[in-house]
Amino acid sequence: MLLLGWSAFSLFKKFMNPDASKFSNTKNGKKMLACSVCDTHVPESDAIIKNGKTFCSKEHSE
């Protein structure tokens, strides 16, 4: 029962704090960044960073 409670608590925390996932690492260790325009998550290596903002594509960076 303790494990169940912990799982529920983790889910609750995730639900209460959705923004925390925006800049968190994925399971495979690749850093994901959210596009400032459409909020799509792209790997850091594929993201376009302009003026301190992150974009998923060239189109959105313009």
Cβ-contact 58, 40 below 8 angstroms: no
Of the pair 37, 53, the CB lying nearest Zn ion is at 37
Cα diameter, the chain: 52
CB of 28 to Zn ion, least distance (A): 22
- Decide whether 40 or 53 has the Cβ nearer to Zn ion: 40
Nearer Cβ to Zn ion (19/62): 62
Please tell me the distance from the alpha carbon of residue 23 to that of residue 8, in angstroms, as a whole number: 23
Q: Shortest Cβ distance from residue 60 to Zn ion (Å)?
A: 4
How far is residue 62's CA from residue 60's CA, in Å, rounded to a whole number?
Answer: 5
Q: Which positions lie near Zn ion, rule CB under 5 A?
A: 35, 37-38, 40, 56, 60
